[in-house]
Amino acid sequence: MNSTAKLTRHLSKWKDYKDYYKRLFQLGLPILVTQVGIIVVNFADTMMVGHYGTNELAASAFVNSLFVIVTVMQMGFAAGLTPIIGALFGRGEHPNVGKNLRGALQVNIILSCTFTIIMGGLYFFLDLFGQPEEIMPLIRSYYLIILCTLLPMALFNTFQQMFNGITNTRTPMWFILIANVLNIIGNYILIFGHFGAPALGLIGGGLSTLFARCVAMIGIILYFAYRHDYRRYREGYALKEKLGEIRMRIWKTSYPVMIQSGVECFLWSFGAIVCGWYGKIQLAAFQVVTTVSQLGFMIYMSFTTAISILVANFTGRKDWIAVKRVTSAGLHVVLLLATFTSLLFIFAGKNIIIAFTPDAEVIASALGLLLPMVVYQYMDAVQLGYANAIRGTSFVLPLMYISVSCYLVIGISVMLWFAKIFEVENVGIYWSFCIALGIAAVLLFFTFRHIVRKQEALR
């Protein structure tokens, strides 16, 4: 009787979660395909640049570690639109979707132009970061090209989050995949000088990235402008109304997510800077392993983004039971995926690293980072799950406080402690990531539970 009762309970739980698993996969799989495409491009970039030269690989690692902060902050800010659009869509308020998109574009353009000016000013202080002198000319040229990609990315991100909010995750997927194919082809032609083009090395990789991002931006804008069944959104977009209140609401929902994303990313970028203190081998190894680790991060982000979309829809309907269940279902999925990626890194990690660089010293240094990289897969999966669930509720201010505490205060302190006092160099840097992510996961869990309980009590 005992086993029968247990089986009945398990079947009951499966019935409770079955529909949520299905909806998560419907939304998450197109995002997953998109993220896999991004991973393929990042792998291709790193492999091609790595085979072109170690100096180029180290230079790209440094520049990307600076721009990834701004890139992720732009993506985080745009993601603040998703719960707003998701709640409006859940209530069937289609013209308001268009109005909020217009307000979001205005705010995102201003923010991206501000970031472009700030990063443009930082260009004149690159010598102060203590990087190897022989790679500085490459750093300067590549930096200016990537600087030009910020505004096209911001525009694309805004439309992508609007599409996600209305549960259309497939359309952004196709535009990103097309851009990725163009990027890889451009890398092949411009990095190594095929089909009569000059061999531009790292500069060619940067130009290819710029072109691909512009194509994605133009494509998604034209799709929104001419797609027939989006007319109901365009009508709201075209309304001549003051958008001050909408812009302020978008700002309040978006800036904590932006700071949370940027601070988390800053920890990784600071890790690259610290690696650079120990020479180009440590920095190149860090770049290779960080690129490999994105395989896990991008996969988790796909399904946690789906959590955010569905939580936003259910929040719009005040269905807090569904909010809890879809979050739990999402965590089941990402923990399963974390196990899969960890096994992949354990059994195939060496072969994956060798594919990125022929340099024996870089390979040996990178192999030492595999164990902490596997450990933080689980920490990363859980904190992403709860962070996106909180984003979906629109009660996002705690994300900012948790990220500043865990990533800036704890993460950087532990990183410098491991790297400088224990002198474990880039291995210590990766263990500091594990600690920061683990503490953040615990705090985010309690924050999500508090938000839901408070809203249930109010209702």
Q: Are 426 and 369 in contact (CB under 8 A)?
A: yes
Let me know if residue 419 belongs to a domain: yes
Let me know if residue 12 belongs to a domain: no
pLDDT higher than threshold 50 for residue 7: no
Stated length of the chain: 459
Let me know if residue 11 belongs to a domain: no
Q: How confident is the model at residue 15 (pLDDT cuts 50, 70, 90)?
A: low
Q: Tally the domains of the chain.
A: 1
Mean pLDDT value across residues 104-130:
91
Residues of the chain above pLDDT 90, percent: 22
- Most trustworthy range by pLDDT among 149-153, 176-180, 374-378: 149-153
d(CA 89, CA 87): 5
Token code pair at residue 304: 């946690």
d(CA 118, CA 65): 16
What is the DSSP track for 382-416?
A: HHHHHHHHHHHHT--HHHHHHHIIIIIIIIHHHHH
Q: How confident is the model at residue 43 (pLDDT cuts 50, 70, 90)?
A: low
Average pLDDT score over the chain: 84
Domain span holding position 314: 17-458
Let me know if residue 3 belongs to a domain: no
What is the DSSP track for 201-247?
A: THHHHHHHHHHHHHHHHHHHHHHHHH-GGGHHHHHHHH-----HHHH
Residues 421-427: contacts with CB under 8 Å, at least 24 apart: 425/275, 425/278, 425/282, 426/271, 426/274, 426/275, 426/278, 426/282, 426/285, 426/286, 426/365, 426/368, 426/369, 427/368, 427/369, 427/372
Let me know if residue 329 belongs to a domain: yes
Q: Are 243 and 99 in contact (CB under 8 A)?
A: yes
The pTM of the whole model exceeds 0.85 = no
Let me know if residue 430 belongs to a domain: yes
Type of residue at 130: G
pLDDT higher than threshold 50 for residue 79: yes
d(CA 79, CA 329): 21
Let me know if residue 10 belongs to a domain: no
Burial of 9 (0-12, 13-18, 19+ CB in 10 A): exposed
Report pLDDT digits (tens) over 218-270: 999 999 999 888 899 998 888 877 888 889 988 988 888 888 888 887 887 78
pLDDT greater at residue 423 or residue 252: 252
pLDDT greater at residue 384 or residue 278: 384
Report pLDDT digits (tens) over 282-330: 778 887 888 777 777 777 878 888 898 889 888 888 888 889 999 999 9
What was the pLDDT predicted at 39? 64
Mean pLDDT value across residues 394-415:
90
Report pLDDT digits (tens) over 366-386: 888 888 888 888 898 999 999
